[in-house]
C-alpha cells in the first residue's frame, strides 16, 4: 500500500504536457478554453487537467494520472463515476431513442420519485439545468404573487439568470448591482440583496417593502461560498416573514438536494418551503434539473396555468433514465450512512492536519470546506477574509499528490459513496504532508 502511494505521488508530480496542449488548443476556439469558468483554475493558477475518463472515486487526466476526485462534477456524482446501475439505465435508454419532444413515462417516474423524497414538493417540472430551474421558479413566484421584487443573499449562487446575477452594492446595504456586464440595472433593481444569516436585515426589508416581494431565494446550506451553514433563527425568520407577507420561500437545493440528505436540507432543517429547485444529482450526471412545490402554485405554469416555461429537451429520456437510476439507489439510507462515516473522518482528519494553521472546517453530510480563516464562516463578509493564497498553495500541494479538490476556496468538496476508507486516509496523509512544511 505504501508502495502504491509513493508511485502515485511520483506519477502526479510529473508535468502534464497533454493537458497543457489541450488547454492551449481549447483557448483558441473556446473563450478561456473552458465551457464554464469554474473549470479554468483561475483562482489558483496553473493548467486545468483535461479529463480522459473517470471511474468510481477517480478521474484520469490526458497524461494518464489518476486523481481521487472530490469535485464529482461539482455535485452530481454522489455515487461516484460510472455507477453500474446508472450506466445500465442510460445504455438501455439510448437504444430506444435520445429525444422525442413528446411525453414519456420515465418523466413521470422521476417526478414521482422526487415527490416521494421531498414532501414539500407536490408537483414538479423538469428542466435542463440548475440555472433554468431557479430562473423558472423566480418567474413562477412573480407570476403567482403578481409582484416583481425578490430577496437573495450575498455569497449564494443560483445560476446565471439576470435577476440572480447581482451583488451587494457598496453604498446602501440592500441595493443590488449587476454582478456582470450585460446584466441590466433594471434586473438588479428588482433584486434586494442581504447578508446571509442576518435575520434582522430580513425583517427590516419586509417591514419596508414586504408587499412588493414575490420571493426569497436561498441556498439552505451554502455550497457556493464554500460550505456555510444557515442558523436556525435565520431560517425561522425567513419562513415567518414570507408567510406574513404572502411571499414565497424558495429553497435552492440544486446542490443540497439528495446530497445532504435524501430529502434535501429542508428535511434536516424542518422547514417547508413553497418552492424547491433541484439539479446536479437529480440528473445522475446528465443534464436534468427540476423545480417543484405546492400543487396550487405549480398549477400556474403553462399549460395548466399562464406562466410561460418550456424546453425542447426538458425531461430528456437519457437524463430521466440516469435520474431514476440514481434516485433508486439513493433511496437506501445505507448510502447516507456510508457518506456520513467517510465524510466525518475526512472532516476530522483535515481539521487535525491543519491544526497549526488558522482554519475552520465546515461540513454538512458529504459537503465540506476547509477554510483558511480562523473565524467561523457565516456570511460572505467573513468568507471574504479567507487567505486564498494559502488555499491555492494547499490546492496545488494536494493536486501534486493525486488529490483533485475544487479549484477555489469558495466551493465545497464532495465525498461520494465510491470513495473508500483508504482513499480518505490517503487524502488526510496528503494534507498532512502539505501542511508539514508550513510555519
Ligand atoms: C450549481 C448551482 C446552480 C446552477 O446550476 P447549473 O446546472 O450550473 O445551471 C444553481 N443553484 C445552486 C445552489 C447551485 O449549486
Q: What is the CATH number of the domain that holds 14?
A: 3.90.1150.10
Rounded to an integer, what distance in angstroms lies between the CA atom of residue 186 and that of residue 173?
A: 18
What spacing in Å lies between the alpha carbon of 287 and ligand 1's midpoint? 12
pLDDT at 170: 61
Which set of grid coordinates corresponds to residue 219? 441556498
Cα 131 to ligand 1 centroid, rounded to whole Å:
6
Residue 211 DSSP label: G
Range of the domain at 408: 3-82+333-435
CB 254 within 8 A of CB 277: yes
Bridge partners, residue 285, by sequence:
none
Report the C-alpha gap between 226 and 69 in whole angstroms: 17
pLDDT of 15: 82
The domain that contains 147 carries what CATH number?
3.40.640.10
Q: Distance from the CA of 71 to the center of ligand 1, in angstroms?
A: 14
Q: Which residue has the cell 480522459?
A: 52
Active site residue 252: yes
Residues 170, 292 within the same domain = yes
Which ligand 1 atom lies nearest to the CA of residue 253?
A: 13
Distances from the Cα of 194 to the Cαs of 16, 168, 250, 287, 416, in angstroms? 43, 7, 15, 31, 33
Give the global pTM: 0.95
Same domain, 73 and 158: no
Do 348 and 200 sit in the same domain of this protein? no
Amino acid 141: pLDDT = 98
**Smallest CA separation from ligand 1 atom 15, residue:** 255
Distance 1 CA to ligand 1 centre (A): 38
Radius of gyration (C-alpha) of the chain in whole angstroms? 22
| 130 Cα nearest atom in ligand 1 | 5
Which one, of 347, 161, 325, lies nearest residue 258 by Cα? 325
Domain shared by 68 and 193, yes or no? no
What is the pLDDT tens value at each position of the chain, 439 positions in all? 333 333 334 334 458 999 999 999 999 999 999 999 999 999 999 999 999 999 999 999 999 999 999 999 999 999 999 999 999 999 999 999 999 999 999 999 999 999 999 999 999 999 999 999 999 999 999 999 999 999 999 999 999 999 999 887 665 456 688 888 999 988 889 999 999 999 999 999 999 999 999 999 999 999 999 999 999 999 999 999 999 999 999 999 999 999 999 999 999 999 999 999 999 999 999 999 999 999 999 999 999 999 999 999 999 999 999 999 999 999 999 999 999 999 999 999 999 999 999 999 999 999 999 999 999 999 999 999 999 999 999 999 999 999 999 999 999 999 999 999 999 999 999 999 999 988 7
Task: Give the position, in ligand 1's atom list, of the atom nearest the Cα of 280.
Answer: 7
The answer on 257 and 247 residing in a single domain is yes
Name the active-site residue from 61, 162, 198, 252.
Answer: 252
Total residue count of the chain as it appears in this document: 439
Q: Are residues 107 and 175 in the same domain?
A: yes
SS3 403: strand
Same domain, 158 and 226: yes
Examine the residue annotation and report whether 232 is marked as an active-site residue of this protein. Answer: no
Domain boundary among the residues 330, 358, 374 is at 330
Count how many domains the chain has. 2
Answer yes or no: do 204 and 227 share one domain.
yes
Mutation test of ligand 1: which of 37, 74, 130, 156 has the most ligand atoms closer than 8 Å to its C-beta? 130
Single out the residue of 224, 158, 227 nearest to residue 367, CA to CA: 227
Which of 289, 312, 330 lies at the terminal end of a domain, its last residue?
330
The question of whether 280 is a catalytic residue gets the answer yes
Residue nearest to atom 11 of ligand 1 (CA): 158
Whether residues 13 and 105 share a domain: the answer is no
Ligand 1 site residues, Cβ closer than 6 angstroms = 129-131, 134, 157-159, 219, 223-224, 252, 254-255, 279, 289
The protein residue whose alpha carbon is closest to atom 5 in ligand 1 is 130
DSSP 260-275: TBTT-HHHHHT---SE
Q: Where are the alpha helices (DSSP H) in 246-332?
A: 265-269, 295-298, 317-330
Amino acid at each position: 500500500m505504501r508502495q502504491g502511494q509513493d508511485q502515485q505521488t511520483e506519477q502526479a508530480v510529473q508535468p502534464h504536457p497533454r493537458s497543457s496542449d489541450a488547454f492551449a488548443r481549447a483557448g483558441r476556439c473556446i473563450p478561456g478554453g473552458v465551457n464554464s469558468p469554474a473549470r479554468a483554475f483561475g483562482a489558483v493558477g496553473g493548467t486545468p487537467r483535461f479529463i480522459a475518463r473517470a471511474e468510481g472515486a477517480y478521474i484520469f487526466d490526458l497524461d494518464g494520472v489518476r486523481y481521487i476526485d472530490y469535485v464529482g462534477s461539482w455535485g452530481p456524482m454522489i455515487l461516484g463515476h460510472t455507477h453500474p446501475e446508472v450506466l445500465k439505465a442510460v445504455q438501455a435508454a439510448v437504444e430506444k431513442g435520445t429525444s422525442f419532444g413528446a411525453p414519456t413515462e420515465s418523466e413521470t417516474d422521476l417526478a414521482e420519485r422526487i415527490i416521494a423524497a421531498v414532501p414539500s414538493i407536490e408537483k414538479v417540472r423538469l428542466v435542463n439545468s440548475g440555472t433554468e430551474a431557479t430562473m423558472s421558479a423566480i418567474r413562477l413566484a412573480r407570476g403567482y404573487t403578481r409582484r416583481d421584487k425578490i430577496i437573495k443573499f450575498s455569497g449564494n449562487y443560483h445560476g446565471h439568470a439576470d435577476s440572480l446575477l447581482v451583488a451587494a452594492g457598496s453604498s446602501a446595504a440592500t441595493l443590488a448591482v449587476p454582478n456582470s456586464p450585460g446584466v441590466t440595472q433594471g434586473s438588479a433593481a428588482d433584486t434586494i440583496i442581504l447578508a446571509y444569516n442576518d435575520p434582522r436585515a430580513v425583517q427590516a426589508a419586509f417591514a419596508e417593502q414586504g408587499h412588493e416581494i414575490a420571493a426569497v431565494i436561498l441556498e439552505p446550506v451554502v455550497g457556493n461560498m464554500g460550505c456555510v451553514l444557515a442558523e436556525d433563527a435565520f431560517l425561522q425568520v425567513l419562513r415567518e416573514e414570507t408567510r406574513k407577507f404572502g411571499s414565497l420561500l424558495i429553497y435552492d437545493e440544486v446542490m443540497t438536494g439528495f446530497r445532504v440528505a435524501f430529502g434535501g436540507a429542508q428535511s434536516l432543517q424542518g422547514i417547508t418551503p413553497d418552492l424547491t429547485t433541484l439539479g446536479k444529482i437529480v440528473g445522475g450526471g446528465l443534464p436534468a434539473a427540476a423545480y417543484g412545490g405546492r400543487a396550487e402554485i405549480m398549477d400556474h405554469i403553462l399549460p395548466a396555468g399562464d406562466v410561460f416555461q418550456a424546453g425542447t429537451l426538458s425531461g430528456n429520456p437519457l437524463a430521466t433514465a440516469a435520474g431514476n437510476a440514481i434516485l433508486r439507489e439513493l433511496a437506501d439510507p445505507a448510502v447516507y450512512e456510508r457518506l456520513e462515516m467517510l465524510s466525518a473522518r475526512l472532516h476530522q482528519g483535515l481539521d487535525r492536519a491543519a491544526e497549526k494553521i488558522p482554519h475552520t472546517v465546515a461540513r454538512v453530510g458529504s459537503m465540506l470546506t476547509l477554510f483558511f480563516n480562523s473565524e467561523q464562516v457565516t456570511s460572505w463578509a467573513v468568507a471574504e477574509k479567507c487567505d486564498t493564497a494559502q488555499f491555492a498553495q494547499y490546492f496545488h500541494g494536494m493536486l501534486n499528490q493525486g488529490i483533485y479538490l475544487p479549484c477555489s476556496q469558495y466551493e465545497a468538496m464532495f465525498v461520494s459513496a465510491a470513495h473508500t476508507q483508504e482513499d480518505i486516509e490517503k487524502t488526510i496523509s496528503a494534507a498532512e504532508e502539505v501542511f508539514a512544511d508550513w510555519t
